[in-house]
Amino acid sequence: MRKRLSDIYCVFQIHLARLRRETGPFLLAAIVFPVGMYLFASGIAQQNLAGSIPNEYKVHFLAASLVFSLSLTAISWLGYLLLENRFTGRLKLFATLPLAPSSYIFGVLIFALMQGAIGTVSMIIAARLLGVETHIDGFSGVLQLTLTVFIALLSLCGTSVIIAARVRSFSEGSLYTDALGAGIVLLAPVYYSSETLPFFIRWIGYVLPTTYIAGAVNKILAGNPFIGGELLVLSAMAAITLAGGFSLMNWREE
């Protein structure tokens, strides 16, 4: 058990060194682009409303941008790292060690959780600076947000692990991670309501985790504590994608 924990921590440290070296791109994905999306959505709303937008809208756009941040971090950025590990032979190096594949995945997940935490806190601070009034319900609200971000990241990271394990080439994988990182936010009712979508596209939203992450985060930021349904669906999605990722991640080539 001690060895397992040490292995997980070492995998985390290796990826942390990467983050330290490449802070710029991470900040772009986790904060700059999502803040940009917040401003974009707010700007459109302001034009349509022909005046200042209500705080309720601002909170909605903040929740959506938080989801965008988590998605870019967990799928585009983390997926890229996992692909790089696989296709530059680094995974091969791990495979030669007495290291369980699950230790590698857990190390990567902890790294993703840390990134998600940095992104979420930064986004909330940025929102305050932009004049958004959130109504996080004290300590329990913070706890709910932490739990939501945790489960959300697990469901998104599971997708990254599956992509990194299944694709046949680096370019194929990075196309998937780039497209999905932004795509699963734009195809789901995250910035807008599902009613605005054509009926035949709405069903896509039902199977995307971003729909439920946005729903839960929106409720928490608005001070509504009833997020059990969203968390249940997200937990199921996380369990399925991670189980898939674990089963596909095997050091041994058949």
The contact set with other proteins (CB under 8 A) reads 3, 6-7, 10, 13-14, 17-18, 20-22, 88-90, 92-93, 95-100, 251-254
Report the chain's C-alpha Rg in angstroms: 18
Q: How far is the CB of 86 from other proteins (least distance, A)?
A: 10
Enter the tokens of residue 229: 């349904």
Nearer to other proteins, 45 or 95 (CB): 95
Beta carbon of residue 14, minimum distance to other proteins (angstroms, whole number): 5
Nearer to other proteins, 16 or 118 (CB): 16
**Closest distance of CB 93 from other proteins, Å:** 5
Where does residue 50 fall: left (phi above 0), alpha (psi -120 to 50 degrees), or beta otherwise? left
Cα pseudo-dihedral 32, 37, 39, 41, rounded to 10: -170
CB of 206 to other proteins, least distance (A): 36
Contact partners, residue 201, CB within 8 Å, separation at least 6: 187
Instruction: Provide the minimum distance between the beta carbon of 101 and other proteins in the complex, in angstroms, as a whole number.
Output: 10
Query: Of 89 and 229, which CB lies nearer to other proteins in the complex structure?
Result: 89
Q: What is the enclosing helix (H) or strand (E) of 147?
A: helix 138-166
Let me know: does 67 contact 185? Beta carbons within 8 Å.
Answer: yes
Tell me how far, at minimum, the Cβ of 20 lies from other proteins, in Å.
7
The owner of tokens 């585009």 is: 76
Nearer Cβ to other proteins (5/143): 5
Nearer to other proteins, 195 or 253 (CB): 253
Helix (H) or strand (E) holding 109: helix 101-129
Beta carbon nearer to other proteins, 164 or 221: 164
Whether the Cβ atoms of residue 108 and residue 157 lie closer than 8 Å to each other: yes
CB-based contacts of 242: which residues, under 8 Å, 6+ apart?
A: 105, 154, 155, 157, 158, 161
The tally of CA atoms less than 13 A away on the side-chain side of residue 233 is: 15
